[in-house]
Amino acid sequence: MTPIITLDLDGVLMQNPFGSYVIPTVLKHLEGSAKLTHLTREEAHKALRQAVTQEWQARMDRRDFVAAYHWDDIYQTVGRHYDIHDMPDVTALVNEGVAAGHVHALPGAHEALHLLRDAGFRTVALTNGYRKYQWPVLEGIGLAPLLDGLESPEAHGYAKPQPELFHAVGDVTAHFGDTLEHDILGANLAGVKAVWIVPALPDEQACVSGEELNSPAFQPFFDEMQRKSIYLKHHPEATQQLLTPWVAVRNVLDGARAIASRLT
């Protein structure tokens, strides 16, 4: 059986169109609500962003990690609160954002996938973003042909860091991801080597081991990154050991090089 490398998408292989296109378009659609006419446009957008965050937060709080990534449902729920019932289809907005250039591949993404495949691995995207929002981006930036598949929460009923999502993929050798409490915690819970993509890694070296991250030289940095981890409070199971990756690298290409040199 061909071994598999799974890769997170946002922050590892690609920039999605939500921040610069999908969310602004949704807010523009909602700002006409009669419930917001007493506010300036800026205040209305702030209130709407808070409403979206609250809805997402409520889903995270009840540990419904699959529903927390169902953006059509989240925006429709917020829309109903503001008496707006004709919300735009998020997949259509993603496609518009892709066509308008609101997406790009992150540096080294194409080279990394080629390198992993040449080293004998299957490459599978493992993302908490639903397939209908993610695959069109991969097609738009030319990464889809370099991936053997995409696995996501709505297909399996689990989301990272739940190990069941990793187990659903098959014989995974290593997982690449940028979010400690989704990617690294999830990979460790699933018994998969975790490659942490962290552009802020304060070192010239291309690759830092988990042991080094917990040494005096890197401990302050590692602690600071954990403090900045906004989802961590939803995962009380996360111990220091479960948040420690196999290796930390600055970008996906350095991660692919670490895999090729150490595991093949």
Query: Is the distance from CB of 109 to CB of 9 less than 8 angstroms?
Result: no
What's the closest the beta carbon of residue 12 comes to Mg ion, in angstroms?
6
Point out which span in 5-13, 27-35, 141-149, 187-195 binds Mg ion (CB under 5 A): 5-13
55 binds Mg ion per the rule CB under 5 A: no
Q: Round the CA-based radius of gyration of the chain to a whole number and report it.
A: 19
Point out which span in 54-62, 101-109, 170-178, 205-213 binds Mg ion (CB under 5 A): 170-178
Q: Specify which residues 175 forms β-bridges with.
A: 6, 194
Q: Tell which positions 206-225 bind Mg ion, by CB under 5 A.
A: none
10 binds Mg ion per the rule CB under 5 A: yes
Amino acid at residue number 39: L
Q: Closest CB to Mg ion belongs to which residue?
A: 11
Q: Which of 11, 24, 88, 149 binds Mg ion (CB under 5 A)?
A: 11
Tell me how far apart the alpha carbons of residues 162 and 158 are, in angstroms, rounded to a whole number.
6
Q: Which of 21, 33, 66, 178 binds Mg ion (CB under 5 A)?
A: 178
What's the closest the beta carbon of residue 180 comes to Mg ion, in angstroms?
10
Tell me how far apart the alpha carbons of residues 175 and 22 are, in angstroms, rounded to a whole number.
28
181 binds Mg ion per the rule CB under 5 A: no
Helix 131-140 to helix 90-99 angle (10° resolution) is 10
DSSP assignment string, 6-64: EE--BTTTEE-SIIIIIHHHHHHHHTT-GGGTTS-HHHHHHHHHHHHHHHHHHHHHTT-
Coarse DSSP helix, strand, coil percentages of the chain, rounded to the nearest 5 percent: 50, 15, 35
Nearer to Mg ion, 55 or 181 (CB): 181
Query: Is the distance from CB of 123 to CB of 116 less than 8 angstroms?
Result: yes
Nearer to Mg ion, 10 or 151 (CB): 10
What's the closest the beta carbon of residue 177 comes to Mg ion, in angstroms?
6
Point out which span in 10-18, 94-102, 229-237, 249-257 binds Mg ion (CB under 5 A): 10-18
Point out which span in 132-140, 177-185, 208-216, 245-253 binds Mg ion (CB under 5 A): 177-185
Give the residues lining the site for Mg ion (CB under 5 A). 8, 10-11, 178-179
